[in-house]
A = this chain, B = another copy of it.
Amino acid sequence: MLALRYTTQLLLDRSAPAPTPGPGEALIRTRRAGIASSDLAVSRGLVPFSGILGHEFAGVVERLHPEASKDDRKRWEGKRVAGSINIICGQCDLCRKGLSTHCRARKVLGLYEKDGCFAELFTLPLRNLCEIPPKVHDDQAVFAEPLAAAIHAAQMIRAEGKPYITILGDGVSGLLCAQIMARLNASVRLLGKHPEKFTLCEKWGIKHRHISEVGRRHDQDIVVDCTGSPEGLTLAQALVRPRGTIILKTTAAPVGSEETPNPHGVDLSPLVRDEVTLIGSRCGSIPDALAALASGAVDVLPLITRRAKLAEALEALRLAAAPDQIKVLLEP
């Protein structure tokens, strides 16, 4: 089968062996796959992963393991599915504590020790799957993973007393957070750089400003950093009020590391001086995301700026890195 693989470099593998589902697993045929910034990080060798890329998908269950029960077979075969990207053990202390997205033995689809969905076929455990409601199109369902993360970030916020919330960054993560958080009892604005994304905010009735235009007045109750850049965290510290909260959403660009040193580091002394709470936020609930899509609460289709065939995946990844792109989709 066709698959986009990273080992020491990015490679379109035209004769990748089709995977076979293990016990408790489903074989899924990819209908849509989304290119995320973490895929770009993998393709640049910034993430210690080697294998088939991709973790955002909408697919159809092709078949289960031969020993799967008749009930499971009936439940899943032929169904359209989205799914959690964390493959968990269910037995470690964190799984038992209800923190299974942090499972100590976890694998992560297309990101850590598990081949991903930039392929014709891939596998996931049945317990990771969630059926896509009939009224949610594949083009929408492919956003389940980043939307789940945005909903999760919103769940980490206590929106009491109509707080001022600033969302930093106008990529997919920022645009999804803005839509979700605009439904809180809060005053929400998005800071970005790209006029075409402001047009979307206008359509959604969300306040927006160019990132260079705002005062750094330490007056925001909550700042959600979706920039994926060290400068984002520095700006977030200048915007948030003393004893306020910063939600740090993105892992793709590490804030300096031994491999990719950041010459200036990030000065965290404002965080201590202002007694700010910084909360890291990663994955959310796929069922929550599908429910939000089914309810029409979130508008994702305008985020699709380009489509490419899986056979053109190399070129598509290159294009996805351009600042004018929001979400680039791969199709079979």
Q: Which of A52-78 contact B (CB under 8 A)?
A: none
A249 and B272 in contact, given A99-B243, A258-B264, A265-B257 (Cβ under 8 angstroms): yes
Chain A 260-281 interface 0/1 with B at a Cβ cutoff of 8 Å (1 = within):
0111111111011111111111
**Cα distance A276–B233 in the bound complex, in angstroms:** 15
Residue from B248, B256, B272, B274 within 8 A of A267 (CB atoms):
B256
Residues facing B in A227-252 (CB within 8 A) are 230, 233, 241-243, 248-251
Check if B102 sits within 8 Å of A274, measured CB to CB.
Answer: yes
Residues of B within 8 Å of A274, CB to CB, are 102, 280
Interface hits, A133-184 → B, CB 8 Å: none
Size category, A interface: 35 or more
Instruction: From B250, B265, B272, B278, give the contact of A262 (CB < 8 A).
Output: B265
Residues of B within 8 A of A257 (CB): 264-265, 267, 269
Q: In the complex, are the beta carbons of A271 and B258 less than 8 A apart?
A: no
**A266 surroundings in chain B (CB, below 8 A):** 255-256, 265-266, 268
A282 within 8 A of B: yes
Complex: how many Å from CA A127 to CA B99?
A: 47
Please tell me if A201 contacts chain B, counting CB pairs below 8 Å.
no
Name 5 extra pairs, CB < 8 A, besides A255-B265, A255-B267, A261-B265: A255-B266, A257-B264, A265-B266, A266-B268, A275-B279
Chain A interface residues toward B at CB < 8 A: 94, 99, 102, 104, 218, 230, 233, 241-243, 248-251, 254-258, 261-269, 271-282
CB distance from A258 to the nearest CB of B (A): 6
Q: Which residues of B contact A99 (CB under 8 A)?
A: 242-243
**A282 contact from B94, B267, B272, Cβ within 8 A:** B272
Cα distance A250–B271 in the bound complex, in angstroms: 10
Interfacial chain B residues near A282, Cβ < 8 Å: 272-273, 275
Q: Tell me how many chains of this kind the complex includes.
A: 2
Q: Of B255, B256, B275, which is within 8 A of A280 by CB?
A: B275
Question: What secondary structure prevails in chain A residues at the interface with B?
Answer: loop
Name the B residues within 8 Å of A276 (CB-CB). Answer: 279-280
**A233: nearest residue on chain B (CB-CB)?**
B268
**6 A-B pairs with least C-beta separation:** A256-B265, A102-B242, A265-B265, A257-B267, A272-B280, A262-B265
Closest to A156 in B: B275
Chain B nearest CB from A99 CB (Å) reads 6
Q: In this complex, what residue of B is CB-closest to A277? A: B279
Chain B nearest Cβ from A254, distance in angstroms: 4
Of all chain B residues, the one with the shortest Cβ separation from A252 is B269
Q: Assess whether A254 is in contact with B279, with CB atoms less than 8 Å apart.
A: no
Q: How far is the CA of A102 from the CA of B243 in the complex (A)?
A: 9
- A280–B236 Cα distance when bound, in Å, is 14
- Residue contacts A-B, CB under 8 angstroms, 17 given: A94-B241, A94-B242, A102-B274, A251-B273, A254-B267, A254-B268, A254-B269, A255-B268, A256-B262, A256-B264, A257-B265, A261-B264, A261-B265, A265-B266, A271-B278, A275-B281, A276-B280
Alpha-carbon separation in the docked complex, A279 to B102 (Å): 21
Tell me how far the C-beta of A35 lies from the nearest C-beta in chain B, rounded to whole angstroms: 20
Contacts of A251 on B, CB cut-off 8 Å?
269, 272-273
